[in-house]
Amino acid sequence: MDSPLTDQFWAYLSSLVTGDWGTNPTTEIPVLSTISTAFPATLELVLASLAIMTVLGIPLGVIAANGAGRWADHFVRTFYLSGWATPTYLGAVILAIGVGPVLGLPTKGDFSSTPTFPRPTHMSVVDALLNLNLPAAGDAVLHLILPASALAFLNLGIATRMTRTSMLEVLPLDFVKTARMKGLSEFRVLYKHALRNALITTITILGLTAGVLLSGTVVIENIFQWPGMGEYAFGAITGYNFKGTIGVVIIFAIVVVISNLIADVLYGLLDPRVEWR
């Protein structure tokens, strides 16, 4: 602590590279070991909410674009604007305290009771399936529904809005008219011909939402007591655990950079006009 700030910073950087990320001052547990078990749980939550965003958000965008200016469009726009205008914590609190008990869905943790089976991946559903424990897998899925929905609902607007905008650009094009003139069903025209071309932008944008989703986990995991990075970040930030806070921020930054890279690569793969040099 007596050495100059530059020396301390250099020492911290060197220890980061060697895997020594410091310890939690109250529990003395190393930061990196906590992060390595908490990160997969967050990844599972984020992937589940991305799945909900894709399965629900993209068709809603198609419906809105197909009925642009009509009631379906207004309804979808109101729905995604409500999601966007609802603060993360408010949606999560309503789902955890209001909706969860009414529907009988679990609102705390990732399992009803601490699992006795080995957890190689630290992802609740994957671990249960790897152990061929179907009741535990069902329990894990039930526990995942509310936090993933809270995270997805608040970001659903991004997928819907992007799909709507790019579908509006694609729908008046000649190849869509040709598909319609050939007598194809409306479903095939919309989802097989138009959506394929409109999806490129949406997928890229979904990749770029990683930062937003990760920010959301800090609040959502705390409300649903999900044992992930967000919960750890919340505890570290409010508990003056600076090493833990810096560790979480670094990991989040790495994830954002990697997901942006994945989005860029996907863009190149989906759009043949983009050339790799």
Partner 1 sequence: MDEAAVGTRRTSGDEARTIQSPSEPSLWREFLRGFLRVLRANPLTFIGFILVLIISVVALLVVLVPLVSSVILGHTVLVTPYDPNALSTDYGQPPSASHLLGTDNLGQDVFSRIVAALPLDLAIGFGITGFALLVGGGLGLVAGYWDEPRTIGGAVSVIILRITDVFLAFPSLVLALAIAASLGRGTGPSMLAILLTWWPYYVRLARGEVLAVKHQPYVMAARAGGVSEVRILFRHVLRNLAEPLLVYYTLDVGTVIVTFSTISFIGIGVPLGVPEWGSMVESYERFLLTLPWTVLSAGAAIFVTVLAFSLFGDGLRDILDPRSRRALVQAAVPSTLAAKVAAAAEA
- Residue 191 as a binder of partner 1 (CB under 8 A): the answer is no
Considering the complex, state which of residue 145 and residue 208 has its C-beta at the smaller distance from partner 1.
208
Near partner 1 by CB under 8 A: residue from 55, 103, 173, 249: 249
Nearest to 100 by CA among 67, 142, 132, 135: 142
- Residue 93 as a binder of partner 1 (CB under 8 A): the answer is yes
- Residue 240 as a binder of partner 1 (CB under 8 A): the answer is yes
- Residue 238 as a binder of partner 1 (CB under 8 A): the answer is yes
Near partner 1 by CB under 8 A: residue from 237, 262, 266, 270: 237
Angle between helices 195-208 and 134-170 (to 10 degrees): 120
212 Cα distance to chain centroid: 8
Give first-to-last CA distance, the chain, whole Å: 48
- Residue 82 as a binder of partner 1 (CB under 8 A): the answer is yes
Q: How far is CA 144 from CA 16, 47, 112, 133, 216, in A?
A: 32, 11, 12, 17, 15
Number of helices (H) and strands (E), helices first, in the chain? 14, 0
Query: Which of the residues 101 through 160 are near partner 1 (CB under 8 A)?
Result: none
Query: Which of the residues 50 through 79 are near partner 1 (CB under 8 A)?
Result: 69, 77
DSSP for 16-76? HHTT---B-TTT--BHHHHHHHHHHHHHHHHHHHHHHIIIIIHHHHHHHHHTTTSHHHHHH
- Residue 233 as a binder of partner 1 (CB under 8 A): the answer is yes
- Residue 89 as a binder of partner 1 (CB under 8 A): the answer is yes
Of 9-17, 24-32, 143-151, 206-214, which part binds partner 1 (CB under 8 A)?
206-214
Binding residues (CB under 8 A) for partner 1: these are 69, 77, 81-82, 84-90, 93-94, 97-98, 211-212, 214-215, 218-219, 222, 233-234, 237-238, 240, 242, 245-246, 248-249, 252-253, 256-257
